[in-house]
Amino acid sequence: MIDLVGFALAVLIVELTPGPNMAWLVALTLSEGRRAGLGAVAGVTAGLSANAVLSVLAASMILETEGPLGRAVSVAAAAMMTWLAWDAWRGSGEIARTPGAVGGSGKHALAGFALNLFNPKAALFLIAVMPQFVADGRPTVAQGFAFGATSVIIATAIHLTLVLGAERARAGLMAEARARMVRRVLAVAMLGVAAWFLSKAFA
């Protein structure tokens, strides 16, 4: 039995936090047009999908081991969410932190793919957080792929929304005071999720 709804909420909290991918997609769309932005989204989605597949396979091998691993994974998941919360709390989310622009929608797609294929944050998030939403703490490969697909779908929906509504999104992302408030509210929510993971570890 898996809790896809709970997992989706955790992913949504993380994905809604303003960060480099968001700012890059908005800046790219405004400077080079919607086609460039959509090309970048396609690349980001492909990179996240490949990352998710590798993460699920890695998690299945790691979690085959018996013993106190479940508690360790719960503690690792709590640590991961705490780190994400701290990163969101102090992060600037400015365009300067985003990857530089390159010409052509194909190149933008390739850049988005490469940046997300080897994104350690995305990989660690899936490996550490997936087990928290499975009854026995050991997701099967099929369950892992369901989690991975859910994560990619949510991220892609948010990225498409940003590109298609770039003007409004840009105003939100560029207004530092507003972006800081959003990040800090979501950081507190992440800390709540971290506390829940930690309570599971020592229940």
CA 173, CA 177: separation in Å to the nearest integer?
9
Q: Please tell me whether residue 26 adopts helix, strand or coil conformation.
A: helix
Q: Which residues pair with 2 in a beta bridge?
A: 134
Asked if 69 and 136 count as a contact pair (C-beta separation under 8 A), the reply is: no
Helices (H), 33-68: 34-62
Model confidence over 72-104: pLDDT tens digits? 777 887 887 888 788 778 864 444 344 444 455
* 26-30, 93-97, 148-152, 175-179 — most confident range: 148-152
Among 19-23, 52-56, 169-173, 184-188, the least confident range: 169-173
134 DSSP β-pair partners: 2
